[in-house]
Amino acid sequence: MIAEIKTRFTIPSLAAELYPDWRPAKSCLSPFRPDRTPSFSVFDEGRRFRDFATGDCGDVLDFYARAKGISPEEALVELWDRLGAGNVPPSAVHATSPKERIGPSSENPLALPHQLTKPEQTQARILAENLLSDPSLIDAIAATRGWKPDTIRGLALEGELGLTAEGVLVFIYATGWKFRWKDDAGKRQIKWAPGARKWFWRGALLAAAGEIYLTEGETDTINLLDEGLEVEGRKVVALPDAGFTNIEPWLFLFSGKTVIFFADPDEPGQQCAGRIQTLLEEVTTQFSIIT
């Protein structure tokens, strides 16, 4: 089964849909992170990759999993399904599915889909320190984004916002981090770090909060923080994007609480709000939507 997937799919064929502007080659830019000089390689007839800057490497399954922000087990299921080959044999998946595995435990009380390794924790700290190292950087971001410098500084001090050495803004999650910048054409670009998994931005605050302001993205959360809407007992937390609505594994973090969801007025925002409402109305004491 795995051999068939690796035979039928190549990294270039998957990249054509996942990263249409990226050109895989033996020496190329990384599709997973900002990269100004080639530090990435696709080889073995397009079936393996290596990132020389991070040391990450893998095959077609690993590439697909990283690109989609899912586990290798989930990648196996998705690619097998795309072949139209029927259900995945249970023996092909290492254990139960990731959705079945997710749940709070003494080792993982927030049921994080990915827990940062010690090197990742160190890198996250460095990213935050990059932003704090020069007040002029904070002022420049504030002027460009329209955010308050004190809010930016506070997020960096909390380890939730950072900057790469190249000046790319980084949103730091408990499960990895997301790069965001504008390309030369002014188009917004977003990439998740290798190994990162989507979760709630500032999600570690959910457990102790009695009231939660939940937004569709990090910018909306920062705007609410700028307005001073985070007070004792109330926390402002963001979804990573409007497509992140399969939050069933983390409903326990919202149970018995007051939740206000701040939805964007566009179609994706309204669809997201509908899905979140369906899930959270069942477990919260009070739920409302503000558009």
Q: Are 189 and 181 in contact (CB under 8 A)?
A: yes
d(CA 236, CA 225): 7
DSSP 248: G
pLDDT of residue 272: 95
- Proportion of the chain above pLDDT 70, given as a percent: 93
**Per-residue model confidence as pLDDT tens digits over 159-197:** 999 999 889 999 999 999 999 988 888 888 899 988 889
Q: How far apart are CA 289 and CA 204, in angstroms?
A: 22
Instruction: Name the residue among 243, 248, 252 with its Cα closest to residue 273.
Output: 243
26-57 residue pLDDT tens? 999 999 888 888 999 999 889 999 988 887 88
Q: What is d(CA 18, CA 67) in angstroms, rounded to the nearest whole number?
A: 7
The reported pTM is: 0.68
SS3 59: strand
pLDDT of residue 224: 98
Beta sheet of 234-238, edge-to-edge order: 234-238, 211-215, 258-262, 286-290
> Residue 80 corresponds to which tokens in the numbers above?
């097998």
CA distance 29 to 51: 9
Contacts of 156 (CB under 8 A, 6+ apart): 128, 131, 132, 138, 162
Domains, the chain, in order of start with CATH, read 2-97 (3.90.580.10), 118-192 (no CATH), 203-290 (3.40.1360.10)
What is the pLDDT, as a whole number, of residue 246?
85
Say how far residue 69 (Cα) sits from the centre of its chain.
7
How many CB atoms sit inside 10 A of residue 128's CB? Answer: 22
Stated length of the chain: 291
Contact predicate 185/148, CB 8 Å = no
- Give the pLDDT confidence score for residue 42 in this predicted structure: 93
Regions of the chain with pLDDT less than 70 = 1, 84-103
Q: In what order do the strands lie in the sheet with 40-43?
A: 40-43, 48-51, 57-59
